[in-house]
Every structure is written in structure tokens, then in C-alpha cells.
Amino acid sequence: MSKLPSKRILYGLYEDEEILLKAVKNARAEGLQIWNCFTPFPVHGLEHAMGIKDTRLHTAGFLFGATGTTVALTFMIWVNTVNYPINFGGKPLLSLPSYIPITFELTVLFASVGMVMLYLYINRLAPGMEHAILDPRTTSHMFLMGFEIDDSTTDAQIADVRRVLEENGAVEIAEKTIEEEEDGLIRQVF
């Protein structure tokens, strides 16, 4: 696997989620493009403040559930009418009300397992995948807001980002370089 160019990340650390949320709103109001935010626990409203759109995971869940319903009904109808038709006391071979419990269970099973698998794939959280942590304190008590700095970023823009971080309550400002491979996984932090 070949390595892509490394990324420079300028980030600020915050001690409180309310301060981070306010800082994100102010940074977006200043027209800055936030690379990412890291928090030790979910912060209500952060994705909205960052301008992240809602996911379509619920649509995928519906499609997975519809697949489960189709598989269940198709299999039971095929078994009871074509493969192994048995006449139980004169009842019809195609008795849909008796299929409802199994159809419901397979619908829920396909939807739940499918959404979990899709979630893990989209967020690259499958077992064995390694992700670098910019600052280990973000896993316990600190909140991080980061900005990507590329070759086209001027010193004035970097100074503007630092100013916005300082004005909005960052207790520490740092910069790190990360290397990313073709599969999108961050391998190293320098």
C-alpha cells in the first residue's frame, strides 16, 4: 500500500464542551473550514454547529429491512408451495398470516446487522484498523478542534486560525503531521 502525502493539522484543546461548541460556531462564522473535532463523549449539537449533514443510515436500514422481508417471504412461499407442499388439514399452501412472525424477525435482523456493518465500514471501525490519536487527552477529558494546513495555506491564514483558537478559549494550541495511506487509515503521528 502506497502512502499519500502527509497532512499538517493545527488544533486547539478545550476543557469544556460548551466552550468547544461556542468556538466551533465562531470559527464557522469567521469562514474557517474545520477539519474535525474530537471529544471524549458525544456533544449534543456539535455536528450541526460543524455543518455536518445528517446521515442516510436510516434509509439504508429501511433497504436492509426490505431485503429481510423479501428474503423471508420468498423463501417461505417457495418452501410451502413449490419445494415441500404439505396440506395441513385442508389449509391453503400460501397462508400469509402464518408467515408474519418469521418475516418480522428477519426484517429486524437484516436491518440491525446491515446497519451495524455499514456503520463500521463507513467510519472505518472494523477490527484491526488503526487510527492515530492527535492528543491522548481527548479520550479522557479534553476537547479538540482541528484545522488542516496544506501547501497552499499562507502564514496569514495560519495566524488567523491561531487567533481564532486563542480568542475562543483554547487552553493549548499545537500542530502535528499525520500520514495517511491509500485505504484512508491514519498510520502515524509525528
- Return the CATH number at 136: 3.30.70
Residue 165 phi, psi dihedral angles, 5° rounding:
-65, -45
Query: Is the same domain home to 185 and 140?
Result: yes
1 in a structural domain: no
174: exposed, middle or buried (C-beta count within 10 Å: 0-12, 13-18, 19+)?
A: middle
Q: CA-based diameter of the chain, in Å?
A: 85
- The rounded Cα 56 to chain-centroid distance in angstroms is 11
Contact 84, 97 (CB under 8 A): no
Q: What's the number of domains the chain is made of?
A: 2
Question: pLDDT band at 190, cuts 50/70/90?
Answer: very low
| Long-range contacts of 102-107, Cβ-Cβ distance < 8 Å, separation of 24 or more | 102/72, 102/76, 103/69, 103/72, 103/73, 103/76, 105/72, 106/68, 106/69, 106/71, 106/72, 107/65, 107/66, 107/68, 107/69, 107/72
Sheet with strand 172-180: strands edge to edge: 36-38, 143-149, 7-14, 172-180, 186-189
- What pLDDT was estimated at residue 3? 56
86 in a structural domain: yes
Structural domain for 102, as ranges: 57-122
Query: Is the same domain home to 35 and 71?
Result: no
- What pLDDT was estimated at residue 186? 47
21 in a structural domain: yes
- What pLDDT was estimated at residue 188? 40
Domain stops at, among 76, 103, 122: 122
Query: Is the same domain home to 47 and 61?
Result: no
- What pLDDT was estimated at residue 60? 95
Domain stops at, among 122, 147, 172: 122
Query: Is the same domain home to 152 and 180?
Result: yes
91 in a structural domain: yes
DSSP state at residue 35: -
Domain stops at, among 85, 100, 122: 122
* pLDDT above 50 for 106: yes
Query: Is the same domain home to 20 and 105?
Result: no
2 in a structural domain: no
- Predicted TM-score (pTM) of this structure: 0.69
Query: Is the same domain home to 115 and 150?
Result: no
Between 90 and 156, residue with greater pLDDT: 156
- What pLDDT was estimated at residue 187? 44
Residue 3: its H or E element: none
